[in-house]
C-alpha cells in the first residue's frame, strides 16, 4: 500500500496529471489533465507500466502496487520523460 501512496503523491504533485482518488486498495487510477494527450502519453510509457481502464466513459491509466515489477522511482522517471516528450511534441505544433 505504501507504493500506491507514493505513486499517488507523484501524480498529485504534477498539474499535468489528474488523480481520480487517493488509493485505498493499492490501485492508482490517473490520467493526463489534457485528455487529447492520453494516447501519446501511453505510447511513451514503458511496456507493461500501466494498463488502461474506462470509468464513466473516460479513459484512465491504472497502476497496481502489488505488481512485483512496481518501482515508483523508475516509473516516475519514465513518466517525467514521457511528459517532457509530450511537451516537446506540443511545442512543435
Q: Where are the domains of the chain?
A: 2-92
Helix (H) or strand (E) holding 62: strand 58-64
pLDDT of residue 91: 52
The yes or no reply on domain 2-92 and CATH 3.30.565.60 is no
Q: What is the pLDDT at residue 58?
A: 97
Picking from 89, 14, 7, the residue whose alpha carbon sits closest to that of residue 49 is 7
Q: What is the DSSP letter of 50?
A: -
pTM over 0.85: yes
pLDDT at 51: 94
Residue 92: band (very low, low, confident or very high) from pLDDT cuts 50, 70, 90: very low
Average pLDDT, the chain: 89
Per-residue pLDDT tens digits for 52-71: 999 999 999 999 987 766 78
Per DSSP, 71 falls in state: -
Amino acid at each position: 500500500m505504501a507504493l500506491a501512496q507514493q505513486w499517488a503523491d507523484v501524480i498529485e504533485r504534477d498539474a499535468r496529471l489528474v488523480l481520480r482518488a487517493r488509493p485505498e486498495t493499492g490501485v492508482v487510477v490517473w490520467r493526463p489533465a489534457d485528455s487529447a494527450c492520453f494516447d501519446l502519453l501511453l505510447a511513451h510509457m514503458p511496456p507493461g507500466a500501466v494498463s488502461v481502464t474506462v470509468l464513466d466513459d473516460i479513459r484512465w491509466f491504472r497502476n497496481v502496487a502489488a505488481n512485483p515489477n512496481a518501482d515508483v522511482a523508475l516509473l516516475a522517471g519514465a513518466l517525467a520523460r514521457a511528459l517532457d516528450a509530450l511537451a516537446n511534441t506540443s511545442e512543435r505544433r
